[in-house]
A and B are shown apart, each in its own frame.
Chain A
Amino acid sequence: MTIIQPLTLVLLMPLLSAGFLALMPNYRVSSAFNVLASAVTLLSAGLLVVRPPQPNDYFLVDELSVIFIVLNTFVGFTTSLFSATYIGHEIETGHLTPGYVQFYHAMYQLMMFGMNVALTANNIGLMWVAIEMTTLATVLIVGIYRTHQSLEAAWKYFILGSVGIAFALFGTILVYIAAEPVVGEGLPGMIWTVLNSRVAEFDPALLNVAFIFLLLGYGTKVGLVPLHAWLPDAHAEGPTPISAVLSGLLLNVALYAVLRFKVLLAANPRAMAPGPLMVTMGLVSLAFAAFMLYRRRDIKRLFAYSSIEHMGIIVFAFGMGGPLANFAGLLQMTMHSLTKSAIFFAVGHITQIKGTQRIGDIGGLTATHPGLGWGLVLGVVAIAGLPPLGIFMSEFLVVSSTFSRAPLLAIPLVVGLLVAFGALMLRLTGLAFGEPVGTQAPVRISYVPMFAHLAIVFAAGIYLPPAVVVWFQHVASMLG
């Protein structure tokens, strides 16, 4: 075929843009180009839905990965819009120099490239390499402000992320060793489509240990407790667009890897059931993060812990398995990505206005900045799980499917959700209402990305298009 494949564009566009942006000194041009490149990537990702390519030895696009790819490129695009405004302010106030911004944009696209490769990879080795690359790119961006705190955060992220990624590689090698006697030496032992069709014949003991390593390894990047220590620091100290991308996308990419391996393990009848492990880690993350929310004094850390909480719910849902819980997990993941990045868009502007991230120094936003304040209110209400927004629906599905199958597990789940809800509402009242607190710097605000996300979350809570429902149901049954 002579037409350029959409898959090629999804991968090449970020890669080439990264190279171009690395050489582009003018930050206005590079911000605009960053938006343009992200838009093209999003459009080609849309084409992937319409015309998915045939899987080959390296790349695979199926119904599951398409959800992640579209979500990934969409949030990547809206974040680039927000990032353009955010970076403009950072340059004006002298927090970043043009040289650093040049580097930042190149790393942004490199990270998008890594995530897109990881999501389209048909090869467990390639997937690992891609996830490692995103880690390195994000470590470099987290440390970009070069303050004490951001260096510590980047170092912690780097060390913990590397250990996680090392565990994941060991698990990947074990999967290959399990596959090798059945499918033969060389490339076939690393290809998802081959592994999935032959997994029933693999040695179950090897697969079990491999999955434990993979869950711990990729779970570090998902931010599961007790491997989460890097996450709040990296969110709090990096530039806010990166906090949005970390929460909205990077955690999902690692989750995607965990899900793929879960499906693989579940297809072998003699291997252990992967569900209970994931359910336990999910519940522990939820409970831990829910209580930690109360002690936060920093607005970005607050929402970082809320991300841990939500990843806990999502991993719990996928661990429970079954069509309903999987459906809820997919929906929760999509809604969380959209809502959390919208919140970080608001938080980014708020911290620029107030010049601080301390919750105590921020107050009365709905009075002083109505657009921003009410955007934050809507986002937090959504993330806390109030009806009629999208997350309420997915959390309701998680809880009700748990009640019908394992009522005892539903108790800690509901307690965790309520505790987190209380903490978020408590903080929100101080931030959004009451007397205005803190300084006010003039800031250009981009409302479009934030309200676009919130509108989708709001609409999804009221009406899910039947096409999406059918699609998610199909994927949910695929996940087993």
Chain B
Amino acid sequence: MQGLAFDIAHLLAGSLVLVSFLMIYQDRLPSLINVFALHAILLAASVAWQATIQNMPELYVTAMIALLFKAFVIPVSLRRMIVQLGIHREIDTVVGTGLTMLAGMALVALSMVVMLRITAMADPLAREDLAFALSVLLLGLLMMVTRRNAVGQVIGFMSLENGLILAAAGAKGMPLVVEISVAFSVLIAFIVIGIFLFRIRERFDSVDMQALDRFRGEQQP
């Protein structure tokens, strides 16, 4: 039973890393949003499984928040937003897909090496969970760097936060206050982002961040 519990936890956390890779090469916004929803569902499953094997019922709340909010509410509203903004066409990444995938692999290798080496003493479950979580975090960061579209960056940021929640859930008995706050801050962050996107549309009729980059206070005559 113990072996199976570990295997399922690894399967779920490993799939999260895999889906992070899937997100990296999605070059159209609607499909990117779909893959993000899948990412959130996997996170919810992973957190729920942690709740079961750690016997921590509070974690189910975190799982439910991930499922309802990140897998459902956010993707739906993002999809409506991009349709309203008329940007559900192709998006282009700053760096080529192949190069990004290679960088992603390097990051995963890095986080495996770092995490497995330093946590040699720790609980094996937390240990590999942590390595996967750091991979998800770094892949989210990579995605934020390689996207120039604001929506793409936001999704990158949310997948990064998914990695954080995975790490928090894997840490045995970590007080719930943190998980809720993480979930809650995602909510706030999303509201902020919503406001920003709204304002960006008002001002620029575009959410292409390169349009913003042209406006630097100092470079104006």
What is the CA–CA distance of A298 and B174 in the complex, to the nearest angstrom?
47
Query: Judging by beta carbons under 8 Å apart, are A151 and B218 in contact?
Result: no
| Contact (A152, B189) CB under 8 Å given A163-B144, A166-B160, A209-B114 | no
B114 (CB) vs chain A CBs: closest residue: A209
What is the CA–CA distance of A297 and B199 in the complex, to the nearest angstrom?
28
B137 (CB) vs chain A CBs: closest residue: A170
User: Per-residue 0/1 for B98-142: is the Cβ within 8 Å of any A Cβ (1 yes, 0 no)?
Assistant: 000000000000000011011111100010001001100100010
A253 to chain B, nearest CB (A): 17
B191 (CB) vs chain A CBs: closest residue: A136
SS class, residues of chain A in contact with chain B: helix
Query: Judging by beta carbons under 8 Å apart, are A170 and B217 in contact?
Result: no
How many pairs of A and B residues are in contact by the CB < 8 Å rule? 131
- Is A206 located at the chain interface by the 8 A CB criterion? yes
Interface 9-mer from B23-31, B59-67, B72-80, B161-169: B161-169
User: Which residues of A lie under 8 Å from residue B121 when comparing CB positions?
Assistant: 181, 203
B180 (CB) vs chain A CBs: closest residue: A129
A160 (CB) vs chain B CBs: closest residue: B144
A358 to chain B, nearest CB (A): 9
User: Per-residue 0/1 for A116-154: is the Cβ within 8 Å of any B Cβ (1 yes, 0 no)?
Assistant: 000000010110110010001001100100101101101
| Contact (A206, B217) CB under 8 Å given A146-B203, A159-B153, A163-B144 | no
A209 to chain B, nearest CB (A): 5
User: Which residues of A lie under 8 Å from residue B120 when comparing CB positions?
Assistant: 205
SS class, residues of chain B in contact with chain A: helix
Query: Judging by beta carbons under 8 Å apart, are A154 and B178 in contact?
Result: no
What is the CA–CA distance of A158 and B138 in the complex, to the nearest angstrom?
18
- Is B200 located at the chain interface by the 8 A CB criterion? yes
Which residues of A are interface residues toward B (Cβ below 8 A)? 123, 125-126, 128-129, 132, 136, 139-140, 143, 146, 148-149, 151-152, 154-155, 158-159, 162-163, 166, 169-170, 172-174, 176-177, 180-181, 185-187, 189-190, 203, 205-206, 208-209, 233, 236-237, 296-298, 301, 357
Which residues of B are interface residues toward A (Cβ below 8 A)? 114-115, 117-122, 126, 130, 133-134, 137, 141, 144, 150, 153, 157, 160-161, 164, 167-168, 171-175, 177-178, 181-182, 185, 188-189, 192-193, 195-196, 199-200, 202-204, 209, 212-213, 215-218
A158-B196, A166-B157 provided; 10 other pairs, C-beta below 8 A? A149-B216, A155-B209, A169-B178, A170-B137, A173-B164, A173-B167, A177-B126, A177-B171, A180-B172, A357-B217
